[in-house]
Structure 1
Amino acid sequence: MNNINNIRMFVRVYELENMSAAARDLRVSAAVASARVGELEKHLGVRLFTRTTRSIQPTEQGRIFYDKAVAILDAVDDAEAAVHEVTRKPRGSLFVAAPLGVGRRLIAPEIAGFQALYPDIYVRLRLSDRKIDMTTEGLDVAFILGNPPDSAHRIRVIAECARVLCAAPDYIARRGAPEHGADLVNDAHDCLLLRFPGSTEFRWTLDTSDGPQSFAVAGPVSCDDGDVLTQWALDGRGIVNKPVFDVADHLSAGRLVPVCRKTPPPRAQLAVLFPHKRNQAPKNRLFIDYMVDRIKTRLRAPG
């Protein structure tokens, strides 16, 4: 399997355009990654990459070899998947990403149950509210909440999740309870914003009698972690825009109170994204099927 491992390393270096990133993705040292690419080049008798201190670029031979290498790996993965399907013992690592709220409330609690059924599948779960790129990050499965990105990946819709604007009772006592999206603009209220690098402004889309409308909102603080925004809302620092499942306990306990009831946020699509080819692996299909079923059960649960 040495050549297969070398080819797999070449493909990840090619896709990520970085030796260290490919090494991290395949969980080996940078020295091992470089050695594997070197062995493959020696075996083929050609240079696959042009290396400088700042970059690594494929040669003409590398670009030609890449398409064939991907086909080789797909064939190997298909063969392994067929064997595991027959033996009913799926195995291997599964790299999964999800937004913080979705991951903590809906996915992480179900991991133990999944691994009890399939102990040979090693799940690597990464939670982040930032945007992800499945190809460059080497993901097998990605859960998303909101509009799906334009991509060649497949998408499986799980549910349409209600959202809510809410704030702590003491914030409402101090600042009042806005009823419409228009009540939020011009710094009339402190809105707690989920921001990422490069953000220059922020808008909330709300359902109005005239259809969905976008409102420019602002606030004194922002963060790229949705759970931090929830805590700030609980502390009385402003209004937060959240999926209902993410703040259901706080709403039922009265720690947070819905506002802008006449112009609520539209529902957000919860879905799972996966590459076409990788979904053929039994471990991927099993994980997606299991999680979709368990998430739907959790979303139907009262409270």
Structure 2
Amino acid sequence: MAYVANVRTFVRVYELGSMSAAARDQRCSPAVASSRIAELERHLGARLFNRTTRALTPTEAGQLFYDGAREILSSIETAEGRVMAAADAPRGTVFVAAPLGLGRRVIAPMIPAFREAFPDIAVRLRLTDRAVDMSAEGLDLALHLGPLVDSTLKFRKIADCPRSLVAAPEYIARRGHPRDGAALVEDGHDCLNLRFPGATEFRWTLATPEGHRSFAVSGPLESDDGDVLTDWALAGLGIALKPEFEVAEHLASGRLVRVCEATPPLPVPLACLSPTRTSEDPKLRVFAERVEAACRAALA
């Protein structure tokens, strides 16, 4: 198993571009990660990385070895999965990412029951509203709201997620109640936008009597955390485009109300993404099944 650990560490160093980052990922010290790479280099008789004080870059030999190393690990995981499936004892670690709102409200709350049912499966949950690079970040699964961008990933649709444009009664009393998308733009409403690095323009696609139409919206406040936008909307600072499950309790209590009802936003697909078919790995299969059931219940 030492060779497998060496290969796995090599792959993570290659993908993350950092010995310390790979060590954190593999739950070992940088010294152990470095010794694994050195041992692998001795075994292969070739240097796999060029090391300087500022950078760690793969050599030509490292680039050649990477694809084969990924295949080695994939084959081992598939073989292990078959054995575990035969023994009906899934075990291992699931690395999963989810949007902040979904993760906090749906995924994290289901983990205690999941761990009780499958105590040999560890879960590493990463919550972010940013797009994730599944390969670079070593993820097994990612919950994704929106259309699929990376066509190399396996896409398993869970459900359509309804969305609403919402604002606090205090904001409406101050700025008026926009009835449609055109009023958002024409009346200069403060729209609360989810911004990530590289975003240049915000457009909300709404369902109009003439069909789907995209509206360029703006406002003084932006964040990369969807829950921050909800808090700002509750404080009367603007209008937010939110998944219904994230604001259902606030709509029920009247702290938020729907606006632009004549041109509602389109629902977005909620899907489970993975680099490979989850059915090939028992731990991923049972985790994905529990996640999908929890998500469907939350969106029902």
Q: Tell whether the structures are fold-level matches, with TM greater than 0.5.
A: yes
User: How far does residue 188 in structure 1 lie from its aligned partner after superposition?
Assistant: 1.7
1:76-87 maps to which residues of 2 (within 5 A)? Answer: 76-87=76-87
Kindly provide the amino acid, as one letter, of the partner of residue 42 in structure 2.
K
Structure 1: gaps spanning 5 or more residues: none
1:213 aligns with 2:232: no
Q: Is the 8 A contact 2:207 2:264 kept in 1?
A: yes
What's the % identity of the aligned pairs? Answer: 57
Structure 1 counterpart of 2:43? 43
Structure 1 counterpart of 2:126? 126
- Partner secondary structure for residue 179 of structure 1: coil
State the alpha-carbon separation in 1 of the partners of residues 270 and 229 from structure 2.
20
Q: Is the 8 A contact 2:167 2:233 kept in 1?
A: yes
- Partner secondary structure for residue 269 of structure 2: strand
User: How far does residue 187 in structure 1 lie from its aligned partner after superposition?
Assistant: 6.0
Structure 2 counterpart of 1:27? 27
Q: Is the 8 A contact 2:100 2:225 kept in 1?
A: yes
State the alpha-carbon separation in 1 of the partners of residues 291 and 119 from structure 2.
16
TM-score by length of 1: 0.95
Q: Is the 8 A contact 1:168 1:256 kept in 2?
A: yes
List per-residue Cα deviations over 1:269-290 (Å, max 9, x = no partner). Answer: 1111011166521100110011
1:237 aligns with 2:237: yes
User: 1:16 and 1:151, CA in 2 relative to 1: closer, same or farther beyond 3 A?
Assistant: farther
Kindly provide the amino acid, as one letter, of the partner of residue 8 in structure 2.
R
State the alpha-carbon separation in 2 of the partners of residues 200 and 66 from structure 1.
36
1:190-229 maps to which residues of 2 (within 5 A)? Answer: 190-229=190-229
- Partner secondary structure for residue 130 of structure 1: coil
List per-residue Cα deviations over 1:224-283 (Å, max 9, x = no partner). Answer: 111111011111111110011110111111111100001110011111101116652110
- Partner secondary structure for residue 191 of structure 2: coil
Structure 1 counterpart of 2:53? 53
Q: Is the 8 A contact 1:6 1:40 kept in 2?
A: yes
User: How far does residue 67 in structure 1 lie from its aligned partner after superposition?
Assistant: 2.4
User: How far does residue 111 in structure 1 lie from its aligned partner after superposition?
Assistant: 1.1
Structure 2 counterpart of 1:291? 291
List per-residue Cα deviations over 1:119-167 (Å, max 9, x = no partner). Answer: 1111111111111110111111100111122231101000011110010
State the alpha-carbon separation in 2 of the partners of residues 75 and 200 from structure 1.
42
Kindly provide the amino acid, as one letter, of the partner of residue 69 in structure 2.
A
Q: Is the 8 A contact 2:97 2:128 kept in 1?
A: yes
1:1-303 maps to which residues of 2 (within 5 A)? Answer: 1-185=1-185, 188-276=188-276, 280-300=280-300
Q: Which range is displaced more, 87-96 or 154-163?
A: 87-96
User: 1:52 and 1:186, CA in 2 relative to 1: closer, same or farther beyond 3 A?
Assistant: farther
State the alpha-carbon separation in 2 of the partners of residues 151 and 22 from structure 1.
26
User: How far does residue 103 in structure 1 lie from its aligned partner after superposition?
Assistant: 0.9
Q: Is the 8 A contact 1:187 1:217 kept in 2?
A: no
Kindly report the root-mean-square deviation, in angstroms, between the aligned alpha carbons of the 2 structures: 1.5
Q: Is the 8 A contact 1:144 1:270 kept in 2?
A: yes
- Partner secondary structure for residue 113 of structure 1: helix
- Partner secondary structure for residue 53 of structure 1: coil
List per-residue Cα deviations over 1:179-230 (Å, max 9, x = no partner). Answer: 1111111562111111112222211111111211111111111111111110
State the alpha-carbon separation in 2 of the partners of residues 188 and 60 from structure 1.
55
Q: Is the 8 A contact 2:245 2:298 kept in 1?
A: no
State the alpha-carbon separation in 1 of the partners of residues 68 and 222 from structure 2.
46
Structure 2: gaps spanning 5 or more residues: none
Q: Which range is displaced more, 179-188 or 167-176?
A: 179-188
TM-score by length of 2: 0.96
State the alpha-carbon separation in 2 of the partners of residues 222 and 187 from structure 1.
19
User: How far does residue 22 in structure 1 lie from its aligned partner after superposition?
Assistant: 1.7
State the alpha-carbon separation in 1 of the partners of residues 67 and 99 from structure 2.
32
